[in-house]
Amino acid sequence: MSSVLAFIISFILITAGTPFLISRLKNKGLGQIVRKDGPAEHLKKEGVPTAGGLLFSLVLFLVALLQGETSPLLVWTVFAVICFSLLGFSDDYIKLQGNRSLGLKARHKIFLMVLFSSLAGFYIYLYLPEATRLMVPFSSKEIHLDWLVVPFVIAVYLATANAVNLTDGLDGLAAGTCALAFLGFAVTSSLLGNPTGTYLAATGLGLCLGFLWFNCYPADIIMGDTGSLALGAFLASIAVFQGLALFLLLVGGVFVLVTLSVIIQVIYFRLTGGKRILRMSPLHHHFELSGWAEPRIVIRFWIAGVLFLCFGIWGIM
C-alpha cells in the first residue's frame, strides 16, 4: 500500500473514531485534571476528555497490517508505540482515579521506558548493524556507534517521549508540532529510498492531523500521556531504525527548545535558591503568563516548527 493511502486511511480512521471516543470518555467521566498552580486560563480545560491518544496505537496497528509486509522498522515501531501508549494510559488513569494532576511516579515511568527502549537497542545491535550507523546532518559522514547504540537508543526514546509530553500543554501544540516532524521524516525517508520509513511517517502525519481536527483550540479532547508518549516513541522509532536520530534534533527543534526551557529553569532555580529565569516552564507557559493568547502561542510555535522542518530537510539533502 502506498504512503499516500496510509496517510488517508489513518486520517479517516482517527477523524471517524475520535467523536465516539469523546463520547465514551465523557460517559466514563474521564476528564482532564488541571494543575492549580498553572495558568488561570487552564482552569476552563477542567473536565475536557483526556487520554485521547488511545486510538493512536490501534490505528497504527491496523494501517501496519494493511502494509502486507513486515520489516524490523515496522514491527518495532508498532511495538514501541503500543508499549509507550499503555504506559501513558496507566499514568492518565492514575491521575483520573486519584483526581490529581500527577500519575505514576517518575522513577517507575523511567524504568519502564528504559526497559521498552532497551529491547529495541539490543535488537539493533544484534541484528541490524546498518542501523548502528548514525547519519550526520550537513555532512556525508557517519558515526559508527557499535555497542554504544544500546544506551544511545534508550536516550533517544526517553528524550523524545518526554519532550513530546512536555510540549503537550496547549491545545493543538503537540499534535501540530508532531505532524510537522512526521512530515519531515516522510520527506527524508523518501529521499533516502526507505519506503517503510515513508509509509510510517505518512501514517503518523495522518494520525496527528486527524486528531488535531478535534484537539485545536478550544480542544474537544486532549491526548494525555497516552498520546504524547506514544507519539514520542513513534518518532524515536522512525529515527533510530534509520540512523536519523540527529535529524530528529533538527526537525523536532520545538521539542528541543521546550525541553531545554525546563532544564534551564530547574538548574537556575537550584543555583539561585528559588529564583526563576522564566515565569513558568515549559516555554509555552512562560508566554502564556506574559500575556500571549493560547492560539497565538500555538501558531507561532507551529511556524517555528516549519522553519525547523525546512532546516532539517536541508541538513539531509
Give tens-digit pLDDT for 98-138: 665 566 788 889 999 999 999 999 999 999 999 999 999 99
- 189 contacts: CB under 8 Å, gap ≥ 6: 195, 196, 197, 198, 200, 201, 238, 242
Nine-digit cell at 163? 519532550
> What would the mean pLDDT of 84-111 be, rounded to a whole number?
82
pLDDT value, residue 105: 81
In the block, cell 498552580 appears at 37
Predicted pLDDT at 50:
87
Please give the biggest Cα pair distance in the chain. Answer: 58
The runs of H, that is alpha helices, within the chain are 3-27, 54-67, 72-98, 106-127, 149-167, 173-191, 195-215, 224-240, 245-251, 253-271, 283-289, 294-316
Q: pTM for this structure?
A: 0.94
For residue 209, what pLDDT is reported? 98
Strand partners, 134: 143
pLDDT classification of 274: cutoffs 50, 70, 90: confident
